[in-house]
Amino acid sequence: MIFTTVGRRLLNYVLRRRRLLILTLLFSSITSLIGLFIPLVARDAINVMVSKSSENLLNYGLMIVFLSVVGGLLAFAQRYYSGLLSESVVFDLRNDLYSSLQNLSFGFYSRSDTGQIIARATSDVESVKRFISFAITGFTNAIITVVLALVIMMSIDLKLTLISLLPLPLMSILVRITAKRVRRLFEYARNIYGDFTSIIRESIIGIKVIKAFCGEEHFSKKFLEDIENYRDSLIKVGKHRALLWPTIGLISFISLLLIYWFGGILAMEKEITVGDLIAFSIYIGMITWPMVMLGFITVSYERAKVSASRVFEIMDMKSDIVEDPNAVDLVVKEGKIEFKDIWFSYDNRKWILKGINLTVNPGEKIVLVGPTGSGKTTLVQLLPRFFDPQRGVITIDGVDIRKVKLDSLRKNIGIVHQDIYLFPDTIRNNIAYGKPDATLAEIIEAAKIARIHDFISSLPKGYDTIIGERGITLSGGQRQRLAIARTLITNPKIIILDDSLSNIDADTEQAIYDALSKYFKGKTVIIISHRPSTLRLADRIVVLFDWKIVEEGTFDELMKGST
C-alpha cells in the first residue's frame, strides 16, 4: 500500500497508540505462525503412518490439539487488542473532530449542510474504524501466512509450488473486480442512505409544515423511491458476494487438482513424501483466504481513505475568526461601544452593512429599529465576533475587539438571540448554562426579572422540569423569557436583546422592562425591536434602513422630525 497524505495521517493516529499496535501485531503474528506449524506436524504424523514405524501417533494428535488450543487463545488476544486499538484510534479521531467542530465559526455553520456534517462525524468515522480493526490484523495475518506458507511449500518442492500457484492470479483478479463493483454499489447505497435519512429528518422537523400543506405524498414518493434503490443495490451486493465465494472455491479446487496430480506423481517417484503432499494441500487451502483478504483490504483501504479525507477536511478548516496571538483579556470598565465605518458582507458579494458609524455610550440604552432584513441582527452579531467585518473597527472602551481574547469578549456580552435555542435539559440547567455554579437563589432572581418565575413555580417539578423533546413544550413567549433569564444570570456589562420580547404581551413586556430598568443600571444595552412601545424606553433610537443608519435621536426628536 502506498501511503498518501491521508493514509499517513491515519497511520499517525494508529501510531499514537503504539503499545496496543505492538500487542496486536505480536499476537496476530504468533497466531499465524502457530497456524502454519500445524500442517508440518500433520505431515510428520502421516509419514509415520506410511512408514508403519512404531512411533506413537497419539503424540502427534496431542501436539495438534495443543497447538490449536494455544492458537485459539492467542487469536482471542489478537481480536481483543485489535478491537481495543481501533476503538482507541477512533476515540482520538472523534475527539479531535469534535474540538474542530466547536472551534469553527458561525460562517462555517451557516454555509454547511447539517446533514453532511453529522454524516462525517458519524458514518465516516465508523467506516474508518471498520477498516482499522479489519485491516491491521487481517493484513499481518495474511502477509505472514502467505509468505511463510510459500517458503515452506517451496522448501518442500519448488516446481510443485509454482504449478499449484498457477490458478491464483485468476483469483486475485476476480476478487479485485468484485470488490470494486461492491464498493461502487456501496457508495451508491450510502448516498441514497444519506438522502433518505435527510427525508426522515426533514419530515420530523418540518412535520407541521408538511401536514399544513398536505405535503405527505410528495415526501412518501421520494422516500419510497430511495429505499427501493437502496434495497436493490444491496441485493446486487449480495449477488456479487454469493457468486464470488463458490468461484473462489472452484479455483482453489483446481489448485488442489494440480497438486494431487503432479504431487501424486512426485510422491510415487519418491521425490516427496505422502506427508509432504498432504501438508502441501493444507497450505494451499490456508493461503486462499489471506489472498482474498489482501484483495479486499486494498479496496477497503480506498474506501476508508475517502472517509478519512472527509473527516480530515473538517479538521483542517480554519475558523474565519482567529484570535490574535498577543490577545489580552478584555476588562470592560465603562462599556463604551464604537462601530467605526463598518462594512460587512456574508458572501463577499452583497454588502449587508455599508459604512456603519455608531457609538453607544457607557450606561446608555439604545433601541435599534428598521425593516426586516435591514441588517440589525447582523450588526449586533459583529460585537461578540460571530463574524468579522470586512472593513472597519469595533472597539469596546477604546480597545479593538480583534485584539482581545474571544472568551473574555464573549463573557462580557450577554446576547439573547432572535432565534432561541434551549437545550433539552432542566429549566434550572438551561438558565444556569452560562454560569454552571449559580445557586438556586441566583437562578430564581434571574427568572424573576425575566418574569418567568411564577410560571416555573406553577409546574409540578418547578425548576427541575425538563424542557424539549422529552419534557414539556414551552410557548414562544416562555422560551424568550427563559432565554432572557439565561443571559441575565451571567451579569454581563453589555446586553443585547434581539427582538427578545416579540412574543410577549404588552403588559408583561412593560413588567419586564420595569424589572430590567434596575438591572440595566450601569450596563450598556442594545435592544432590537419592532414595537413602538419599546421606543419610549430608549435613551436613543437608531434607525437602520437599506443597510445604513438613516436616523438617530431620542424618541421626541424623531417624532418631531417625522412630522
Ligand X SMILES: Nc1ncnc2c1ncn2[C@@H]1O[C@H](COP(=O)(O)OP(=O)(O)OP(=O)(O)O)[C@@H](O)[C@H]1O
Enumerate binding residues for ligand X (CB under 6 A). 110, 346, 352, 370, 372-378, 418
Tell me how far, at minimum, the Cβ of 208 lies from ligand X, in Å.
21
Q: From the list ligand X, Mg ion, none, pick the one residue 458 interacts with, judged by a Cβ distance below 5 to 8 Å according to partner type.
A: none
CB of 91 or CB of 346, closer to ligand X: 346
Tell me how far, at minimum, the Cβ of 376 lies from Mg ion, in Å.
5
- Taking the C-alpha atoms of residue 255 and residue 166, their distance in angstroms, rounded to an integer, is 7
Q: Is 502 in the site for Mg ion (CB under 5 A)?
A: no
* 379, HSE (Cβ side, Cα atoms, 13 Å): 35
- Taking the C-alpha atoms of residue 23 and residue 12, their distance in angstroms, rounded to an integer, is 17
525, containing H or E segment: strand 524-528
Q: Is 418 in the site for Mg ion (CB under 5 A)?
A: yes
Tell me how far, at minimum, the Cβ of 464 lies from ligand X, in Å.
34
- Taking the C-alpha atoms of residue 59 and residue 252, their distance in angstroms, rounded to an integer, is 31
Q: From the list Mg ion, ligand X, none, pick the one residue 300 interacts with, judged by a Cβ distance below 5 to 8 Å according to partner type.
A: none
Nearest residue to 176 via CA among 8, 296, 306: 296
Residue identified by cell 452593512 is: 353
- Taking the C-alpha atoms of residue 462 and residue 427, their distance in angstroms, rounded to an integer, is 8
Tell me how far, at minimum, the Cβ of 342 lies from Mg ion, in Å.
16
Among the residue ranges 291-299, 305-313, 411-419, 469-477, the one whose residues contact Mg ion (CB under 5 A)? 411-419
Q: From the list Mg ion, ligand X, none, pick the one residue 523 interacts with, judged by a Cβ distance below 5 to 8 Å according to partner type.
A: none
Q: From the list Mg ion, ligand X, none, pick the one residue 289 interacts with, judged by a Cβ distance below 5 to 8 Å according to partner type.
A: none
Tell me how far, at minimum, the Cβ of 345 lies from ligand X, in Å.
9
CB of 184 or CB of 530, closer to ligand X: 530
- Taking the C-alpha atoms of residue 278 and residue 295, their distance in angstroms, rounded to an integer, is 27
| DSSP state letters, 250-279 | HHHHHHHHHIIIIIHHHHHTTSS-HHHHHH
Q: Is 377 in the site for Mg ion (CB under 5 A)?
A: yes
Among the residue ranges 174-182, 319-327, 412-420, 541-549, the one whose residues contact Mg ion (CB under 5 A)? 412-420
CB of 304 or CB of 356, closer to ligand X: 356
Convert 33-63 to b/e letters by CB count within 10 Å (16 or more is b): ebbbbbbbbbbbbbbbeeeeeeeeeeebeeb
Q: From the list Mg ion, ligand X, none, pick the one residue 348 interacts with, judged by a Cβ distance below 5 to 8 Å according to partner type.
A: none
CB of 217 or CB of 419, closer to ligand X: 419
| Whether 358 contacts 405, CB under 8 Å | no
Q: From the list Mg ion, ligand X, none, pick the one residue 252 interacts with, judged by a Cβ distance below 5 to 8 Å according to partner type.
A: none
Q: From the list ligand X, Mg ion, none, pick the one residue 28 interacts with, judged by a Cβ distance below 5 to 8 Å according to partner type.
A: none
Cell of 396: 469596546
- Taking the C-alpha atoms of residue 3 and residue 25, their distance in angstroms, rounded to an integer, is 19
Q: Is 524 in the site for Mg ion (CB under 5 A)?
A: no
CB of 178 or CB of 378, closer to ligand X: 378
Footprint on this chain of Mg ion (rule: CB under 5 A): 377, 418
